[in-house]
C-alpha cells in the first residue's frame, strides 16, 4: 500500500504535510483530542470542529468493554455513533491492558486480563485488537504492542521489543479492510540500541504510519528529548510520524523540531477539569480557581477566539468552578484544546514561511525552568 502521507515542506527537520484517511484529509503537524469513551470529556463535536480539530482519538479497550464494538457497528459505526465525521484513530488497547497490574497474564499469543468493569476474563491478541478496531469502523488502527514499565532491565526491554515486533507482523496480517490504515509502534525505553533495532524492525513492515511509544511514561524529560533527537530520523521519511501520549506545548514544539507529525494527550482536557488553563503569557498557564481571578473581567486569554474567551470572563469561570458547576470544566477544556490546536496552526504556518526556528526559540524560552506538573496548582 502506498504512503498516505504527503510531505509538503521542510524547515530543518520540522515537517509540513498532510495525511489522507478514509474519512478525510488532515494537515500536519496536528494534535488529536482524546475521546477515550467515544467522547472528548465535556466537549461536543461541534465545538471540536469550531476550534479546528481535524482528527479524534478513541480508546479501543474502553469501547470494546462498553458498549462493545459489535453494538457500535450495529448503530452505524464509530462515526455515526459519535457524530464526528472526520478521521478517527483508535489505540490498540494495549496500554490500558498492560496498566492492569495483577489482573493480566502475558503469553506469546496475547494477554489475558480481567475487565476493570466487572472482573470478567478477556483475552486480547494482535489479531483481536485489529478486529475490534475494524468493527468500530475507525480510519486508523494501532498495532498491538507490549507497553513495558519504565524501570525494567535492558534484558526485559529486549524481550518485550522482540515480542512487539512479532505482534506487529500479526497485526498487519490481521487487517482485512484495505481502507483501514494501520500504524506500527516502536518501543525500547531510553536505550539507543533497542530504539534503533525497533526502528529497523518496524520499518521493514509496510505500515501506513509509524508511532513512537513508551515515552512520557515517567522518564526524565531530557531522556525523552534525547530519544527523539535520533529516533525520529530512523523512521521512514515518506510516512507519518506519531508520538503517542505527548504532551505539554513545550514537548510538542520539541518533537516537531525532530520531525514528529501527530500528537495526542489528555493534558488539555484533564487540566481544564481542574481549572488549569493555558495562556499566551509567562507563566504559560494559570489556575482559574485562584482568588485573584474572582473579579477579573478579562477573558481567559485575550488573544483567543474560542467560546470561553469570546463570551465569558475569568471572574465568571472562576465562579463556576467555585460553585461546582459543570460548565466551568467544559469551558476550560474547550479553551485548552483551542490553545493546543492554535499552536499547531502556528507551527504549520511557521514551517511554511521558514520561521519555525523563531517560534521554537520563543516557546522554549517561555517554558524554560518550568515544570507544568509542579506549577499547575499554583
Catalytic machinery residues: 91, 264
For 225-248, b/e burial (b = at least 16 CB within 10 A) is: bebbeebbebbbeebbbbbbbbbb
Report the chain's terminal Cα–Cα distance, integer Å. 50
Q: Which contiguous run of DSSP H or E holds residue 185?
A: strand 181-186
Q: Other CB atoms closer than 10 Å to residue 183's CB: what's the count?
A: 25
For residue 312, give the C-alpha cell: 465569558
Distances 188 to 104, 107, 165, 198 between C-alpha atoms, Å: 21, 19, 11, 7
Classify burial at 298, counting beta carbons within 10 Å of its beta carbon; exposed 0-12, middle 13-18, buried 19 or more.
Answer: exposed
Within 8 A by CB and 6+ apart from 204, the residues are none
d(CA 57, CA 177): 19
User: In terms of Cα–Cα distance, which of 52, 65, 61, 59 is closest to 82?
Assistant: 59
d(CA 103, CA 114): 6
For residue 125, give the C-alpha cell: 491478541
d(CA 302, CA 343): 15
d(CA 298, CA 302): 7
Locate cell 475490534: which residue? 132
Whether 184 and 205 have beta carbons less than 8 Å apart is answered as: yes
Cis status of the peptide bond prior to 168, with omega within 30 of 0: no
Strands 5-11 and 14-21: antiparallel
d(CA 286, CA 276): 6
Amino acid at each position: 500500500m502506498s504512503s498516505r502521507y504527503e510531505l509538503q515542506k521542510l524547515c530543518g527537520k520540522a515537517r509540513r504535510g498532510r495525511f489522507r484517511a478514509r474519512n478525510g484529509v488532515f494537515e500536519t503537524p496536528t494534535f488529536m483530542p482524546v475521546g477515550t469513551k467515544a467522547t472528548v470529556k465535556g466537549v461536543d463535536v461541534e465545538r471540536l470542529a469550531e476550534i479546528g480539530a481535524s482528527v479524534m482519538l478513541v480508546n479501543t479497550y474502553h469501547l470494546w468493554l462498553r458498549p462493545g464494538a459489535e453494538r457500535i457497528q450495529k448503530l452505524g459505526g464509530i462515526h455515526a455513533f459519535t457524530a464526528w465525521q472526520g478521521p478517527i484513530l483508535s489505540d490498540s488497547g494495549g496500554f490500558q491492558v498492560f496498566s492492569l497490574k495483577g489482573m493480566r497474564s502475558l503469553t506469546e499469543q496475547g494477554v489475558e486480563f480481567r475487565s476493570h468493569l466487572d472482573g470478567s476474563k478477556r483475552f486480547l491478541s494482535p489479531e483481536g485488537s485489529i478486529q475490534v478496531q475494524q468493527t468500530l469502523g475507525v480510519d486508523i488502527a494501532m498495532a498491538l504492542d507490549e507497553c513495558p514499565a519504565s524501570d525494567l532491565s535492558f534484558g526485559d526491554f529486549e524481550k518485550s521489543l522482540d515480542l512487539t515486533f512479532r505482534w506487529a507482523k500479526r497485526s498487519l496480517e490481521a487487517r482485512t479492510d484495505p481502507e483501514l490504515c494501520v500504524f506500527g509502534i516502536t518501543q525500547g525505553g531510553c536505550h539507543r540500541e533497542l530504539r534503533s533495532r525497533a526502528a529497523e524492525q518496524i520499518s521493514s513492515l509496510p505500515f501506513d504510519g509509524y508511532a513512537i511509544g513508551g515515552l512520557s511514561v515517567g522518564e526524565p524529560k531530557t531522556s525523552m528529548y534525547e530519544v527523539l533527537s535520533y529516533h525520529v530520523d530512523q523512521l521512514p521519511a515518506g510516512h507519518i510520524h506519531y508520538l503517542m501520549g505527548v504532551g505539554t506545548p513545550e514537548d510538542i514544539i520539541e518533537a516537531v523540531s525532530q520531525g514528529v507529525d501527530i500528537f495526542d494527550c489528555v493534558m488539555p482536557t484533564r487540566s481544564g477539569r481542574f481549572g488549569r488553563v493555558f495562556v499566551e503569557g509567562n507563566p504559560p498557564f494559570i489556575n482559574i480557581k485562584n482568588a485573584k481571578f474572582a473579579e477579573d473581567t478579562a477573558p481567559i486569554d485575550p488573544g483567543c477566539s474560542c467560546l470561553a474567551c469570546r463570551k465569558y470572563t475569568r471572574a465568571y469561570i472562576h465562579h463556576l468552578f467555585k460553585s461546582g458547576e459543570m460548565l466551568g470544566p467544559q469551558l476550560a477544556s474547550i479553551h485548552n484544546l483551542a490553545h493546543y490546536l492554535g499552536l499547531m496552526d502556528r507551527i504549520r504556518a511557521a514551517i511554511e514561511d521558514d520561521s519555525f526556528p523563531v517560534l521554537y526559540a520563543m516557546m522554549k524560552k517561555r517554558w524554560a525552568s518550568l515544570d507544568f506538573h509542579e506549577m499547575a496548582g499554583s
